[in-house]
Copies of this chain bind each other. A is one copy, B any other.
Amino acid sequence: MTSTAELLPLAVIGACCSPVTREPISAENAASLAHVLKAVADPARLRLVSMVAAHQDAEACVCDLTEPLGLSQGTVSHHLKILVDAGILTRDRRGTWAYYALVPGALDSIVGLLAGA
Copies of the polypeptide in the assembly: 2
Flag whether A23 is at the interface (Cβ < 8 A): yes
User: Which interface class (under 10, 10 to 19, 20 to 34, 35 or more) fits A?
Assistant: 35 or more
> Looking at the complex, which one of B38, B47, B50, B61 makes contact with A16 (CB distance below 8 Å)?
B61
B56 & A11 in contact (Cβ 8 Å cutoff): no
A46 & B37 in contact (Cβ 8 Å cutoff): yes
Flag whether A5 is at the interface (Cβ < 8 A): no
B37 & A25 in contact (Cβ 8 Å cutoff): no
**In the bound complex, CA of A24 to CA of B60 (Å):** 12
B47 & A41 in contact (Cβ 8 Å cutoff): no
**In the bound complex, CA of A114 to CA of B105 (Å):** 10
A16 & B63 in contact (Cβ 8 Å cutoff): yes
Interface on A for B, CB 8 Å cutoff? Answer: 10-11, 16-25, 27, 30-31, 33-34, 37-38, 40-47, 49-61, 63-64, 67-68, 96-97, 102, 107, 110-111, 113-117
